Amino acid sequence: MPSPYRAIFAAPGAKQFSAAGLLGRMPLSMMGIGIVTMMSLITGRYGLAGALSATCALSAAAIGPQISRLVDRHGQSRVLRPATLVTVVAVLGLLFCAQQGFPDWTLFVFAAGTGCVPSVGSMVRARWAEIHRSSPRDLHTAYAWESIVDELCFIFGPILSIGLCTVWFPEAGPLFAAVFLVAGVFWLTSQRATEPAAHPRGHGSGGTALRSRGLQVLVATFVMVGAIFGVIDVVTVAFAGERGHQGAASIVLAVYALGSCLSGAVFGLLRLKGSASKRWLVGVCAMAVSMIPLQLAGNLPLLAVALFAAGLFIAPTMITTMALVEQHVPRTQLTEGMTWISTGLAVGVALGSSAAGWVVDAHGAQSGYLVSAGAGTLAAAVAFLGYRRLNGPVPHREGRETDDRSEQQHVA
């Protein structure tokens, strides 16, 4: 492991909570694609599959920030376990209704209940921020490492989920996603030494982190970025299915994540200077441009190459986004602020997967990639329009520094 990455793991407990975060984040890549694969195998209806995946994502978008807000106030261990158990019950209900062929509305009821799933990535990043708050360089490397972990999930998660659904039984992918969630969350919350302190009545905890104008720009942009991800998941499964190789969709999606993983690993080694907001804008625009070659890929090998190239821009953009969240949100609301990014992505995934499902049903898989190109264009447009908010003064920084000085005076 390169020395910058070795340095961040010198902190006691870092290896353990990062490993737990990897396990708990596997459902991030397994659940949605597992539901799409499951429903396509059971019913053959990509529109219904995309709509169910979208419902799960929208539910998480609505409930996730509220759970993270409770975490900021009461701590991870008190909130995450009951939220996880509610999610698992909802997943099991969804799988049972699908297996029994119950009416569609029952599927949507349980899909909505999965929104209690905690944002495990935000929980882990909040622990890194607590440990390396005084060292921006180490924190940059830690965020890069967690982006690598995200991409490892997206490399192996779809392969595992689609493989389980197609080789074992249709419900196996989402079922194992739920098992990983329980194991990861309970392991993470058992590690109390690295858990960030709760702030039940702390400075800045009375309102929502979304009051930050900078965070608003980031979330709005990532709605469109999430739409890109949602489209690619659904359309790639359909693209491979049309060519008689549905199981190969997991390999193609893994190549997409591999591109992001490699670029994230390199990005974490760099010691960048200059404005993070400028790097973020360039990253979003590059992601938009990378959607164009997907429309030209006529077979799975060419599609894999195009997706690998597109994936190179994901992790650096995500790493920079988390750094901007840390700049624009008070530390007493950091978990909530990071979860709002996940919320924007979830809303986008919902919109993208639903739209892609209907386009695939009506016009075929190749046409579905036009939706990702449109989403990329909108992401770049929102980033340009909101760039001045990110590049201007940080409204919450004074309050955060005041809070830090108050704590130092209290200790003194």
pLDDT tens digits for range 248-264: 777 888 888 888 888 88
Beta-carbon count within 10 A of 382 CB: 20
Q: How confident is the model at residue 246 (pLDDT cuts 50, 70, 90)?
A: low
* d(C-alpha 410, C-alpha 282), whole Å: 43
Q: How confident is the model at residue 204 (pLDDT cuts 50, 70, 90)?
A: very low
pLDDT (mean) for 167-182: 89
* CA distances to 149, 269, 321 from 315, in Å: 10, 13, 10
* d(C-alpha 222, C-alpha 339), whole Å: 12
The answer to whether 217 and 277 have CB atoms below 8 angstroms apart is no
Q: How confident is the model at residue 160 (pLDDT cuts 50, 70, 90)?
A: confident
More confident residue, 410 or 117: 117
Q: How far is CA 127 from the centre of its chain?
A: 17
Q: Is the dihedral of CA 78, 80, 83, 85 positive or negative?
A: negative
pLDDT (mean) for 275-284: 86
Domain extent listing, the chain: 15-395
pLDDT recorded at residue 397: 44
Q: How confident is the model at residue 207 (pLDDT cuts 50, 70, 90)?
A: low
pLDDT recorded at residue 244: 74
The answer to whether 228 and 372 have CB atoms below 8 angstroms apart is yes
Q: Report the alpha-carbon angle 326-329-331, nearest 5.
A: 75
pLDDT recorded at residue 89: 93
pLDDT recorded at residue 358: 81
Residue 49 has pLDDT above 50, yes or no: yes
- pLDDT per position as a tens digit, 9-45: 878 888 888 899 888 988 877 887 788 888 878 887 7
pLDDT (mean) for 57-70: 82
pLDDT recorded at residue 252: 86
pLDDT recorded at residue 404: 39
- pLDDT per position as a tens digit, 291-350: 988 888 778 889 899 999 999 999 889 888 888 887 777 777 777 788 888 788 878 877
Topology given in CATH for the domain delimited by 15-395: Growth Hormone; Chain: A; (1.20.1250)
Q: Model's pTM, two decimal places?
A: 0.72
pLDDT recorded at residue 205: 47
The pair of three-digit structure tokens given for residue 57, joined into one six-digit string: 């994502």
- pLDDT per position as a tens digit, 212-233: 788 888 989 999 998 998 888 8
pLDDT recorded at residue 405: 35
The pair of three-digit structure tokens given for residue 1, joined into one six-digit string: 């492991």
pLDDT recorded at residue 379: 93
- pLDDT per position as a tens digit, 124-141: 888 888 887 777 778 778
- pLDDT per position as a tens digit, 354-412: 788 788 877 877 788 888 899 999 999 999 888 887 775 555 444 444 343 333 333 33
